Chain A
Amino acid sequence: DTAVSQTPKYLVTQMGNDKSIKCEQNLGHDTMYWYKQDSKKFLKIMFSYNNKELIINETVPNRFSPKSPDKAHLNLHINSLELGDSAVYFCASSLRGGHLEQFFGPGTRLTVL
């Protein structure tokens, strides 16, 4: 009965490959987010979707494309992976208008070789 789940937990891949990370929340929340925790440990927002509609798109390379098939899912697809994409990616969700209290998934550690 995990609230926010991500798959896979670990992802090791070669440069140039395309990969996806899936996120699902069963909290009935309207808003979902993707964060990247970089090598300096800062947690930085990448995207935010509200009821399948993109509302925040930070300065992220267009190799990163979020897809929200429904409000319970927000997947992250990454094309042409680069070494600098290695990081931990966290998915989160919140109630509409309740973005102060976000519920995070366990993270996906992506390693690009």
Chain B
Amino acid sequence: DQQVKQNSPSLSVQEGRISILNCDYTNSMFDYFLWYKKYPAEGPTFLISISSIKDKNEDGRFTVFLNKSAKHLSLHIVPSQPGDSAVYFCAANLQGAQKLVFGQGTRLTINP
């Protein structure tokens, strides 16, 4: 029973264009959503988060959008840079449980 899913295992985008990574969830008790970024041979690192009471959060080139009615969130990276090539994990916080539920990741490749 995977409560957080990233249905695209990989995504390839040209440098300078917009990268859009998607994530779907099923549990209405999630109160925060996060994106983590992972380079090979390293652990995931926190990138950006959004509270369930908001629909958008922006940090530089990274914007996360939340659509609660559709139980969907997305991460937009614009403009995409070669250093953005990594695996991106979507995660959700289960209210009151103090634990994160992660998706399976999407491998983003930025082509020069």
> Residues of A at under 8 Å CB distance from B?
4, 35, 40-45, 48, 55-56, 90, 92, 99-107
Cβ contacts under 8 Å, A101 to chain B:
34, 46, 49
Cβ contacts under 8 Å, B101 to chain A:
45
List CB contacts (< 8 Å) of B93-111 with chain A: 93, 97-105
- Quote the shortest CB–CB distance from B42 to chain A (angstroms): 5
**Is B2's CB within 8 Å of the partner chain A?**
yes
Cβ contacts under 8 Å, A90 to chain B:
43-44
Q: A99 and B98: CB pair below 8 A?
A: yes
Q: B99 and A43: CB pair below 8 A?
A: no
For the complex, count residues of B whose C-beta is within 8 A of A. 24
Q: A43 and B89: CB pair below 8 A?
A: yes
List CB contacts (< 8 Å) of B78-96 with chain A: 89, 91, 93
Cβ contacts under 8 Å, B104 to chain A:
40-43
**Is B70's CB within 8 Å of the partner chain A?**
no
Given contacts A42-B2, A99-B93, A100-B34, contact A48 B98 (CB under 8 A): yes
**Is B28's CB within 8 Å of the partner chain A?**
no
**Is B41's CB within 8 Å of the partner chain A?**
yes
**Is B57's CB within 8 Å of the partner chain A?**
no
- Quote the shortest CB–CB distance from B1 to chain A (angstroms): 11
**Is B26's CB within 8 Å of the partner chain A?**
no
Q: A99 and B44: CB pair below 8 A?
A: no
Q: How far is the CA of A102 from the CA of B34 in the complex (A)?
A: 11
- Quote the shortest CB–CB distance from A58 to chain B (angstroms): 8
The chain A residue with its CB closest to the CB of B102 is A43
Given contacts A42-B2, A43-B89, contact A99 B42 (CB under 8 A): no
